Amino acid sequence: MSVNQIVTPLDSAVLETKEQYAVYFKIVQHAFNELVKSISQHSICNELEVTYIEQYCELLLYSIEAFRVKYLYDEEEKLKVDLTESGFPNYLEFRYLYNDLSLKKEHLSKLPKIEEIKSQFLEKLLKEKEDIRKDKLYQAASIVYYNSVDQKFIYRKFVQGKIIRTKDEFGPEYMVSWSFYDVTYNRPFICFMYFDLYKDTIDNYTEKIYKVLESVADRDMELDMMAYAIDKKLTKVWPKKLRKLDLGPLHNVFAKDELKITHTILQGIVNKNLDLSSFAISLSIEEINSIGDWNEGSFFNFSKVQVWEKSKPEKYLLSPHRVMQTLYDQIPQEINKLSKDPIEIEALKLQ
């Protein structure tokens, strides 16, 4: 399989064959598993945050596995991988998947029964010694897809995490997390907000917090702008710290962006210096902390608003050793922009 085999109409690369699907899904799954492991091992996030990062990544991987089953034998529709600085499925694919599963019963009613199709397969393979027709394979894959994929586990544009107590005697009392798939970058983001509550109980205020987060913090933006929007709408919440994790881009053979890291990996694959499964994944983290507050509004109608201080954004790159060597050799200036040396992760073996 060469890079040139991947068709790139408009803003998406189309996965055409089962072999391409297999390679792509293995790369994404392996990359996320290594990312979660490295975040924990290198103390990039605390234990509480790692727990939620694992859960959000599990939802993403579950959805991507659903894509694999859905498109396995589909001759008409193909999975589209975003061509911007992403390397992940286009956001519309997640929306179509969620909506498609809403019609699960209707779709299943048009497909043959499981026993019927099993009988047809056995007849073809054992008695007639013939291959199964592609349309029958597609029917079988569709039956598996609609019977096994649960809509509630599909990653959506906005995924809300629960509010929990931090158990930190000297810090904010509560932490809430959420994740969103930004439609501009087609990448997943994970956010954490640490806060105190003023003159109310968390049980009374929880639903309002969730509603506000989904309305004002469901896309990528400057972190202080996000914090201000939350602060203005939730008068009884006093945010103390916000963190935003940008998972990606995923630099791999299926990515078509103009980033130097992606281009270097693609060139290495074309020149056969790197394996087809070679990849790297970027991780960026932004954090702001409250250093005080001020009263906004008139004397008779004011609200307390936090004053924020930005920390320097952290930029990480995770890659297998051979990819790391290639990047150091070809684009050392890009490596020097990272917050620390690239983090070595296990290479993916396709065989």
302-317 average pLDDT score: 89
Asked if 281 contacts 252 with a C-beta cutoff of 8 angstroms, the reply is no
Claim to verify: residue 144 and residue 193 sit in the same structural domain: no
The residue from 120, 135, 153 where one domain ends is 153
Asked if 316 contacts 343 with a C-beta cutoff of 8 angstroms, the reply is yes
Q: 129: Cβ–Cβ under 8 A, 6 or more apart, which residues? A: none
The residue from 132, 153, 174 where one domain ends is 153
Claim to verify: residue 167 and residue 305 sit in the same structural domain: yes
- Measured CA to CA, the distance from residue 230 to residue 209 in angstroms comes to 9
Assigned domain for 351 exists: no
Q: What are the CA-CA distances from residue 295 to residues 56, 237, 303, 309 (Å)?
A: 36, 14, 5, 17
- Angle between helix 321-330 and 260-270 (nearest 10): 110
Query: Would you state the pLDDT for residue 8?
Result: 35
Domain range spanning residue 102? 3-153
Q: Phi and psi dihedrals of 327, rounded to 5?
A: -65, -40
pLDDT band at 63 (very low <50, low <70, confident <90, very high): very high
Look at residues 91, 200, 98 and name the one whose alpha carbon lies nearest to residue 153: 98
Query: Would you state the pLDDT for residue 297?
Result: 59
Claim to verify: residue 146 and residue 117 sit in the same structural domain: yes
Percent of the chain with pLDDT over 90: 69
The residue from 153, 186, 207 where one domain ends is 153
What's the total number of domains in the chain? 2
Claim to verify: residue 132 and residue 260 sit in the same structural domain: no
User: In a 3-state reduction of DSSP, which class is residue 161?
Assistant: strand
Q: What is the pLDDT of residues 101-151, one digit of tens each?
A: 999 999 999 999 999 999 999 998 988 888 999 889 989 989 999 999 999
Mean pLDDT, the chain, rounded, equals: 89
Query: Would you state the pLDDT for residue 11?
Result: 46
What is 254-323 written as a DSSP string?
T-----HHHHHHHHHHHTTSS-TT--EEEEEEEEEEEEEEEEEE-SSSEEEEEEEEEPPPEEEEEE-HHH
AA identity, residue 313: P
Q: What is the pLDDT of residues 203-262, one digit of tens each?
A: 999 999 999 999 999 999 999 999 999 999 998 999 999 999 999 999 999 888 889 999
Claim to verify: residue 12 and residue 36 sit in the same structural domain: yes
Query: Would you state the pLDDT for residue 10?
Result: 37
281-302 average pLDDT score: 82
